[in-house]
Amino acid sequence: MSRAAFALAALLAFSWAAQAADLLPLERWRSYQGVSWEAAAPGQAAVPFAQSVNAPIAGLHFDARGGAYVSTPRLLSPAAPATLSRLDTTADGGPARLTAFPSTQGNDVKAPPHLALRNVLGFHVDRRNGWLWALDMGFVAGEAEAPAGAQKVMVFELASGKLLKTIALDGVADRAGSFLNDIAVDERRRVAYVSDSGFRSAPRNQVGLIVVDHASGTARRVLDGHASLQIEPGVKVVSGGSEVWPGNPLLIGVNGIALSPDGQTLYWTVTTGTQAWAVPTAVLRRAGASDAQIAREVRSLGVVGGNTDGIVTDPVGDLYITDVTRGGIVRYSPSTRALALIAANGAVRWPDTPAWHPGGDLVFTASALNQHFDGQVKAGEERYELWRLRPRGQKATRH
């Protein structure tokens, strides 16, 4: 190695060490070997689901009391008893103990497609109204397209599991090409925003945003095919120091989606991309606004620094982004307009959905989803983890 090359390597190593010293610690909060929907006998461990390796925990949200809800999307197999469940976080170790929400029947993949949840990745626990908004992708593993009526948003009462409303999405999403990924909800206005990653139509992803109005029960597609939602040509998705699926690159468009606390700004990121984006929601809610008019108000927040998945805002308006490249969290501050990596840990395997526990911690799922989809995880060796971060250095909360 030349002196110049050696000096550059030393400088980069020093810069990373200095940055790492400033990072906040990430704690592995819960670690599960598979999942279980079986009720455990007193003093006994839960019996793992036979196809746990095909039911990785992806989405995560907490209710006002700290109750956890998770999604296990049916993207690898349709066999899981539920795609949306409550998670018992009092147990750490063994399989994750799940209870189907709203019920096993409400998750029946063989039920009429418009009546039950078939494949949930994104959902939202609405603490203001006491609701849960579930985004149903519609299709399950093995289906070339979603059955008619399967693409939908279902709104449930949290306390009882009662279905309050179903809003059909077939008219604003393609049954063969759409990939209804995530949902952000303006709880005061009762308006939801859905990200369509268009993953199943790659490489020409049928990306778009969908605006869902609870009061009218209608949905409208906007920014259809817009560049800010689309995969960036030449960008590779990297996780754990290696390209994800070399030779068959991962091509996911708009993925994470979140709202500012006042509901006036919508944020999103693109997994096969480099930037974070924002747009005022007023123009999205304006029924007569054209895509060209909306596009003029879209702005880039800058380069994140790694590939991304889920995003969430905190009560003061800062945006938190899971960084799958560096196994950590990036924060965007609207006051400084700066993006910075604030936490990372080499043991984090594909950080997915971040959510706020009412105790103040940021908790996110990490289930090595890229390795599951590539068939690299053997049955019995799956680990589904929850990690937590105290963003502002607050003292530990007991929960």
pLDDT band for position 127 (50/70/90)? very high
Q: What is the pLDDT of residue 42?
A: 74
Over residues 101-121, the mean pLDDT reads: 98
Using CA of residue 228, residue 231, residue 236, residue 238, what is the dihedral sign? Answer: positive
Q: How does pLDDT run across 265-301, given as a tens digit for each residue?
A: 999 999 999 999 999 999 999 999 999 999 999 999 9
Q: Whole-angstrom Cα distance, residue 47 to residue 70?
A: 19
Q: What is the pLDDT of residue 395?
A: 40
Q: Where are the domains of the chain?
A: 30-389
Half-sphere exposure of 1 (CA within 13 A, CB side): 8
Q: How many CB atoms lie within 10 A of CB 398?
A: 4
Instruction: Indicate the average pLDDT of the chain.
Output: 92
Q: How does pLDDT run across 170-220, given as a tens digit for each residue?
A: 999 999 999 999 999 999 999 999 999 999 999 999 999 999 999 999 999
The CATH class of 30-389 is mainly beta
Q: Which of 64, 94, 70 is nearest to 82 (CA)?
A: 70
Q: How many CB atoms lie within 10 A of CB 303?
A: 11
For the chain, how many helices (H) and strands (E)? 4, 27
Q: Whole-angstrom Cα distance, residue 39 to residue 130?
A: 26
Contact criterion met (CB below 8 Å) for 277 and 267? yes
Q: How does pLDDT run across 155-173, given as a tens digit for each residue?
A: 999 999 999 999 999 999 9
Residue 322, Cα to own-chain centre: how many angstroms?
A: 9
DSSP string, 22-46: HSBP-EEEEEESSEE-SPPPTTSPP
pLDDT band for position 392 (50/70/90)? low
Contact criterion met (CB below 8 Å) for 77 and 71? no
Over residues 28-49, the mean pLDDT reads: 89
Q: Whole-angstrom Cα distance, residue 258 to residue 76?
A: 26
Q: With pLDDT > 90 as the criterion, what percentage of the chain qualifies? A: 87
Q: In what order do the strands lie in the sheet with 275-280?
A: 254-259, 265-270, 275-280, 299-303
- The residue count of the chain comes to 399
